[in-house]
Amino acid sequence: MENENNMQNPENKYPQPPFPKQKQEFPGTERAMNPLADHGEESYQGSGRLKGKKAIITGGDSGIGKAVAIAFAREGADILISYLSDMEDEDALDTAHYVEKAGQKCIVVKGDITVEDHCKRIVADAVAEFGQIDILVNNAAFQMARKSLQDIPSDEWAHTFAVNVHSMFYLCKAAEPHMKPGSSIINTTSVNAYHPSDDLLPYAATKAAIQNFTANLSQILLNGGKGIRVNAVAPGPVWTPLIPSTKWEDAAIFGDNTPIGRPGQPVEIAPSYVFLASEESSYISGATIPATGGRIAY
């Protein structure tokens, strides 16, 4: 509950499990979630920390990506959001609405980021519209819960790496020539990089790879005189459409294994991305910010 300093106990600040049982077709939609997620639509207040910046956010239609897009826009950035499929059109347009309501430009690009040419198109569209790229957020991800090693189809293993890791390489490679010193790349890893869930083997492996990629690319770009910082955010369990569409058997109790006792809301994760994109983090590169609900990330 709130006190006279407008502070609130994090344990009951947002909905706590158990939640209603629910299942969606992948990749899921925001409107079908129960309870609905909070992306900061009514609460996030910007202060010009990203004024004049131009950002690309993959998976920007929903979940963490949506919250980051809203926060970036309210901090003064123009946004390109990429997303996968027709199912997500409504969510993507809703995100664009909030970006434009904040007085910023928004480009919406649909397509499969496992295809390198599509990643090049995303970058080309951003450069054509904005003239520059200052922030690249590699946030889109795929996961599917499987009970055993034998339950994991080989093509699903490959697809998980294609979405979560290969696309990040494609986008960084395409964007780097258009990023000036002071620019920022932010990758979404996960608490699964430290404490992998036993039903998310491919996903957890990709998130560990993202940790290494982030640290390595940071050194390459700084030692190469590029002046581009590379960091990551490691969310814990966060209430997004990915959960009822890929981990539906656990949706009712999702997040109850954190010390805070509930899943995070996307609005609680977005400020870490704002910080890493801003000049306030100018001496930080190769680092990961854990936003895990109290789960230890090391």
Domains of the chain (ranges; CATH) run: 54-291 (3.40.50.720)
Q: Give the torsion through C-alpha atoms of 240, 242, 248, 249, to 10 deg.
A: -90
Q: Which of 5-9, 46-50, 84-88 has the lowest mean pLDDT?
A: 5-9
Instruction: Provide the pLDDT for residue 1.
Output: 44
- What 3-state DSSP class applies to 171? helix
For the segment 214-257, what is each residue's pLDDT rounded down to a tens digit? 999 999 999 999 999 999 999 999 999 999 999 999 999 999 99
Region 68-95 average pLDDT: 98
Region 41-52 average pLDDT: 97
Q: Which residues contact 205 (CB under 8 A, 6 or more apart)?
A: 160, 161, 196
On the question of pLDDT at 70 being above 80, the answer is yes
Percent of the chain with pLDDT over 90: 96
Instruction: Provide the pLDDT for residue 298.
Output: 86
Host H or E run for residue 137: strand 135-138
Instruction: Provide the pLDDT for residue 113.
Output: 98
Region 77-92 average pLDDT: 98
On the question of pLDDT at 2 being above 60, the answer is no
Q: How confident is the model at residue 3 (pLDDT cuts 50, 70, 90)?
A: low
Residues forming the active site = 203
On the question of pLDDT at 94 being above 90, the answer is yes
Whether the upstream peptide bond of residue 241 has omega within 30° of 0, thus cis, is no
For the segment 100-157, what is each residue's pLDDT rounded down to a tens digit? 999 999 999 999 999 999 999 999 999 999 999 999 999 999 999 999 999 999 999 9
Q: In whole numbers, what is the pLDDT of the chain averaged over residues?
A: 97
Q: How confident is the model at residue 6 (pLDDT cuts 50, 70, 90)?
A: confident
Percent of the chain with pLDDT over 70: 98
Helix %, strand %, coil % for the chain, to 5?
A: 40, 15, 45
Q: How confident is the model at residue 86 (pLDDT cuts 50, 70, 90)?
A: very high
Of the candidates 47, 291, 119, which has an alpha carbon nearest to the alpha carbon of residue 190? Answer: 291
Region 276-292 average pLDDT: 98
Radius of gyration in angstroms for the set of CA atoms belonging to the chain, rounded to a whole number: 18
Region 65-92 average pLDDT: 98
Token code pair at residue 142: 């795929």
- Is there a contact between 62 and 241 (Cβ–Cβ < 8 Å)? yes
Q: In the beta sheet, which residues pair with residue 79? A: 55, 106
Q: In the beta sheet, which residues pair with residue 109? A: 82
Q: Which residues contact 296 (CB under 8 A, 6 or more apart)?
A: 194, 195
Q: How confident is the model at residue 5 (pLDDT cuts 50, 70, 90)?
A: low
